[in-house]
A and B are shown apart, each in its own frame.
Chain A
Amino acid sequence: MFETRIHGRGGQGVVTSAELLSVAAFREDRHAQAFPSFGSERTGAPVISFCRIDDRTIRTREPISLPDAVIIVDPTLLHHVDVFSGLRADGYVLINSTRSFAELQLGELCDGFRPERLCTIPATELAREHLGRPLPNAAMLGAFAQLTGVVTVESVAAAIRQRFSGEVAEANVRAAQAAAGLVPPSSGKAAQEEAINA
């Protein structure tokens, strides 16, 4: 089972992101469970959503407290919410930012985790470029797929096309693909597997 926790703010599409990730996994014939942090949060309030992906039926309903990956859609949360809480030592971190981990003053964090699994991506900028609007989710998911390999970028694109239609869908797919292209080749699961196979 691969468990992802997504942090953002109300209105940033955090819940939709988890849903899209689950649909991407579903399209790969896997089992997936996406759910929000249940609450009556208003626009701008910190929001969490979750996504579990597995090869068999997912029965558990507890919130994800020991995630395999965290996605931080809104970097302003970094120093307000314990976004890394419970993250496994070999876990992935994807942050929506133009800055590096060091620049984000997350240097210490890097020590505890595998550096090739930590990645920042300028998703909001990519969204502005491709969508004309600062909606970073598609870009984040594209990068996430590339970073973790838990789903393919193609599945993310298919999930986006299933959820949205027309030019909105295509623009989001382009943002996702562009973001995937920005993930350093040395990062993530693919690189790790190559290393093992070598």
Chain B
Amino acid sequence: MLEQIEGSQAVARTVAMCRPEVICAYPISPQTHIVEGLSRLVKAGELRPCEFVNVESEYAAMSVAIGASATGARSYTATASQGLLYMAEALYNASGLGLPIVMTVANRALGAPINIWNDHSDSMSQRDSGWIQLYVESNQEAVDVHLQAFRIAETLSLPVMVCMDGFILTHAVERVELPEPEQVDAFLPPYEPRQLLDPAEPMTIGAMVGPEAYTEVRYLAHYKQMQALDVIPEVAAAFEQRFGRSSGGLLRSYRSDDAETIVVALGSVLGTIEDVIDELRDQGVSIGALGIRTFRPWPSEEVRSALEHAKRVIVVEKALSIGIGGIVSQNVHGALEGTAVTIHTAIAGLGGRPITKSSLRRLFADGIAGELTGTTFVDLDHSLVDGESERMMQTRRSGPHAENMLRDVGIVGAGPV
């Protein structure tokens, strides 16, 4: 059914149609609307049987999901930002135990400084957690990919993180085709666990493994996740067959087959990028985009074949690996090893700074003109940074950066002047 609906509500209704049996909820912006929606559906009896557990932390949220999943229940939770970090230990545990939990990450920046707005710092920080990571571009894709996520997770017995841009998608009201429950039931069979806590067949789950087998267990975890490179496209194909629209998968190329310049990005910024690419194509610029839909496992070969014909690649990423720079671009570098493709890294949209078309036009023009060097911080206010650097050089007790810089930009209430 076609609806004009908020992203979070669309996801809540879709997740409900996937019939999770246990949902754990802990509030954190910008994820809250999703679990609020699910709470209503469970309380109203529209989703049952389902246990909705209001937990005391994200750590508990993931832990309850672990217990429930190991007991054979389809389990779901959602989080963002600090919440994802707070459950980090449990994330590794869920993947290490091979529990097919599905979680929405409403992408948000990490503190300090505390910042509730969107970027990809949170999920990128957990890229090595053993979870499959899928990034969505629109709310339609968020709906579609959640459906696929349960099937992927349960096929492989691995947890899946669906990453959707906080606020930009979660709070956006737009046109979404919601599936019919019967369609979902036909697409997503009941969960058949690979391992189960069952008194009829007692089993020990989570035993200690020493040096004699740890490498093998980790190898298997890697091998299993790499299998997702086959399973994800299969599930996307099955989805397209049943629902009649293309969604999910590993990558999505946009006007890039013959492009000299290819922009690589994840998530909702791809929409803005595509608009700019259309403008530039109209002007005769040879440019296209590659959307990374599956970031973990990293589809290295697919990325390579999608990019290797280009002269240059500009990776626009909403996260920063402090001490090295880009995260996605490191992966792109690996995929393009041995090719002549020039790779530029552009860090943009951190902490909710809008990524505007005009900034992107400038960035792409600079890239094409060969003027990008090293890591570019899009729209960085150099004077602000220089002012604080100066302050640090002048006085030992220069104070906290964030508050100093807020005063510099004239934000009221930033503290004593």
Which chain A residue has the least Cβ–Cβ distance from B173?
A34
Check if A122 is an interface residue, CB within 8 A of chain B.
Answer: no
Among B4, B352, B357, the residue within 8 A (CB) of A23 is: B4
Contact across chains for A26 and B4 when beta carbons are under 8 A apart? yes
Query: Which one, A35-43, A131-139, A164-172, A177-185, is touching chain B?
Result: A35-43
A40 shortest CB reach to chain B, Å: 6
Which chain A residue has the least Cβ–Cβ distance from B268?
A61
Which chain B residue has the least Cβ–Cβ distance from A1?
B275
A165 shortest CB reach to chain B, Å: 16
B283 shortest CB reach to chain A, Å: 18
Query: Which one, B55-63, B164-172, B191-199, is touching chain A?
Result: B164-172
Among A26, A35, A40, the residue within 8 A (CB) of B175 is: A26
CA distance A59 to B355 in the complex (A): 13
CA distance A65 to B355 in the complex (A): 12
Which chain A residue has the least Cβ–Cβ distance from B114?
A40
Residues of A within 8 A of B166 (CB): 38
Count the A-B residue pairs with Cβ separation under 8 angstroms: how many?
Answer: 71
Contact across chains for A59 and B171 when beta carbons are under 8 A apart? no
Residues of B within 8 A of A114 (CB): none
Contact across chains for A60 and B275 when beta carbons are under 8 A apart? yes
B29 shortest CB reach to chain A, Å: 7
Interface class of chain A by DSSP: mixed
Beyond A26-B4, A65-B356, is A60–B175 a contact (Cβ under 8 Å)? no
Among B173, B175, B357, the residue within 8 A (CB) of A18 is: B173
Contact across chains for A22 and B173 when beta carbons are under 8 A apart? yes
Which residues from 138 to 173 on chain B have a C-beta closer than 8 Å to any C-beta of chain A?
A: 138, 165-168, 171-173
A161 shortest CB reach to chain B, Å: 14
Contact across chains for A61 and B271 when beta carbons are under 8 A apart? yes
Bitwise interface map of A from 24 to 53 toward B, beta carbon under 8 Å scored 1, else 0: 001100011111101110000000000000
CA distance A27 to B165 in the complex (A): 26
B interface, how many residues as a size bin? Answer: 20 to 34
CA distance A59 to B254 in the complex (A): 13
CA distance A35 to B190 in the complex (A): 36
Contact across chains for A60 and B171 when beta carbons are under 8 A apart? no
Beyond A59-B274, A59-B275, A61-B269, is A35–B172 a contact (Cβ under 8 Å)? yes
CA distance A194 to B118 in the complex (A): 45
Beyond A40-B116, A62-B356, A63-B354, is A33–B274 a contact (Cβ under 8 Å)? no
Which residue of B165, B173, B354 has the most chain A CB atoms within 10 A of its CB atom? B173
Contact across chains for A32 and B174 when beta carbons are under 8 A apart? yes
CA distance A43 to B399 in the complex (A): 31
Beyond A60-B271, A60-B272, A61-B268, is A34–B175 a contact (Cβ under 8 Å)? no
Residues of B within 8 A of A68 (CB): none
Check if B117 is an interface residue, CB within 8 A of chain A.
Answer: yes
CA distance A27 to B354 in the complex (A): 29
Among A26, A38, A60, A61, the residue within 8 A (CB) of B117 is: A38
Beyond A22-B4, A23-B4, A61-B268, is A35–B171 a contact (Cβ under 8 Å)? yes
Check if A58 is an interface residue, CB within 8 A of chain B.
Answer: yes
Check if B6 is an interface residue, CB within 8 A of chain A.
Answer: yes
Check if B288 is an interface residue, CB within 8 A of chain A.
Answer: no
Check if B72 is an interface residue, CB within 8 A of chain A.
Answer: no
Contact across chains for A62 and B272 when beta carbons are under 8 A apart? yes
CA distance A62 to B166 in the complex (A): 14
Which residues from 266 to 292 on chain B have a C-beta closer than 8 Å to any C-beta of chain A?
A: 268-272, 274-275
CA distance A39 to B165 in the complex (A): 14
Residues of A within 8 A of B357 (CB): 60, 62
Contact across chains for B168 and A58 when beta carbons are under 8 A apart? no
Among B6, B116, B272, the residue within 8 A (CB) of A61 is: B272
Which residue of B174, B271, B357 has the most chain A CB atoms within 10 A of its CB atom? B174
Which residues from 81 to 107 on chain A have a C-beta closer than 8 Å to any C-beta of chain B?
A: none
Contact across chains for B171 and A38 when beta carbons are under 8 A apart? yes
Contact across chains for A38 and B173 when beta carbons are under 8 A apart? no
Pull 25 A–B residue pairs with CB atoms less than 8 Å apart, ordered by A. Answer: A18-B173, A22-B173, A23-B4, A26-B175, A27-B4, A32-B175, A33-B174, A34-B174, A35-B173, A36-B167, A38-B30, A38-B117, A38-B352, A39-B117, A40-B116, A59-B138, A59-B274, A59-B275, A60-B271, A60-B275, A60-B357, A62-B272, A62-B354, A63-B354, A63-B356
> Which residues of A does B touch, CB under 8 Å?
18-19, 22-23, 26-27, 31-36, 38-40, 58-63, 65
A-B pairs, top 4 by smallest CB distance, nearest first, are A59-B271, A38-B167, A26-B4, A34-B173
Q: Please give 5 more A-B residue pairs, beta carbons under 8 A apart, in addition to A59-B272, A60-B272.
A: A22-B4, A35-B171, A38-B117, A40-B29, A61-B268
